[in-house]
């Protein structure tokens, strides 16, 4: 397979089949993000591009154990719809597709699935329903481990506070996200409009800070995935009702 590929969408069916039959890809990262306004200065793809970058780097470091799936570039963003250009899914349909993707990957043979998030609006809908998915997996695919987290949750707060002027984590298009964009995709940052914006926090962002946040996020994601794979991070005890 060229370049030790980790992105499912870049693989042929043969490459994925031979991988999973050859005991590669025990674990899938399912990335979820948003397509929403990010203030006057950041591009709308910010959330999905950030989380996919971190997932891809972590998967490369764990090659050949982890495959990255990117089905959800649109997220739950009704609260951003008053800014033109935002695209938002309704929670029910969005969760239904997400859980189909998880179930599909389990059917293909992965043992661990991490739903990996880059957008705050997706958090409560997933957390409110993930146990229903876990019950279903428990009966239909015993032993499968399904987890959810946002990439910023994995970065120790002390680390971030040491390298930030503000304490808004992750915030929305503020210091944290702007620094990440400057580090990963500077073409998505309109620096020239920042001085005239009402919110001046983004001016505190630098590419150097962004590189620190991203590197720490990648390292912590690698550790989290390792702990999922070796059973230290497991599904919660699911109660049965009498």
- Summarize as ranges the residues that interact with Zn ion (CB under 5 A): 46-47
Q: Supply the minimum distance, in Å, between the C-beta of residue 48 and Zn ion.
A: 9
Q: Supply the minimum distance, in Å, between the C-beta of residue 166 and Zn ion.
A: 15
Q: Distance (Å, rounded) from C-alpha 9 to C-alpha 102? A: 15
Cβ-based nearer residue to Zn ion, 5 or 47: 47
Q: Supply the minimum distance, in Å, between the C-beta of residue 192 and Zn ion.
A: 21
- 63 by Cβ neighbours in 10 Å (0-12 / 13-18 / 19+) ranks as middle
Q: Supply the minimum distance, in Å, between the C-beta of residue 30 and Zn ion.
A: 18
R_g of the chain computed on alpha carbons? 18
Cβ-based nearer residue to Zn ion, 24 or 80: 80
Q: Which residue number places its CB atom closest to Zn ion?
A: 47
Instruction: List, in sequence order, every residue forming a beta bridge with 53; answer none if it has no partner.
Output: none
Cβ-based nearer residue to Zn ion, 33 or 91: 33
Q: Distance (Å, rounded) from C-alpha 82 to C-alpha 85? A: 9
Cβ-based nearer residue to Zn ion, 19 or 210: 210
Residues 130, 176, 115, CA angle at the centre, nearest 5°?
20
CA dihedral (231, 29, 59, 33) positive or negative:
negative
Phi-psi group of 231: left, alpha or beta (phi > 0 → left; psi -120 to 50 → alpha; rest → beta)? left
Q: Supply the minimum distance, in Å, between the C-beta of residue 154 and Zn ion.
A: 16
Cβ-based nearer residue to Zn ion, 27 or 39: 39
């Amino acid at each position: 397979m060229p370049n030790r590929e980790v992105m499912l969408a870049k693989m042929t069916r043969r490459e994925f089949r031979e991988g999973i039959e050859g005991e590669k890809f025990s674990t899938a990262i399912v990335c979820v993000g948003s397509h929403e306004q990010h203030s006057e200065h950041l591009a709308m793809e910010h959330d999905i591009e950030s989380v996919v970058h971190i997932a891809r780097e972590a998967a490369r470091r764990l090659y050949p154990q982890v495959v990255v799936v990117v089905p959800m570039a649109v997220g739950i963003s009704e609260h951003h719809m008053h800014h033109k250009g935002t695209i938002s899914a309704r929670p029910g349909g969005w969760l239904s597709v997400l859980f189909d993707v998880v179930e599909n990957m389990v059917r293909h043979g992965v043992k661990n699935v991490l739903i990996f998030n880059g957008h705050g609006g997706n958090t409560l809908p997933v957390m409110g329903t993930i146990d229903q998915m876990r019950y279903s997996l428990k009966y239909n695919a015993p032993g499968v481990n399904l987890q959810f987290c946002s990439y910023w949750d994995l970065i120790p707060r002390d680390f971030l506070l040491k390298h930030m002027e503000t304490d808004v984590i992750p915030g929305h298009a503020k210091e944290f996200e702007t620094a990440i964009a400057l580090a990963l995709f500077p073409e998505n940052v309109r620096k020239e409009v920042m001085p005239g914006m009402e919110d001046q926090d983004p001016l505190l962002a630098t590419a150097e800070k962004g590189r620190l946040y991203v590197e720490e996020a990648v390292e912590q994601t690698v550790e989290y995935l390792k702990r999922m794979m070796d059973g230290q991070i497991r599904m919660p005890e699911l109660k049965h009702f009498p």
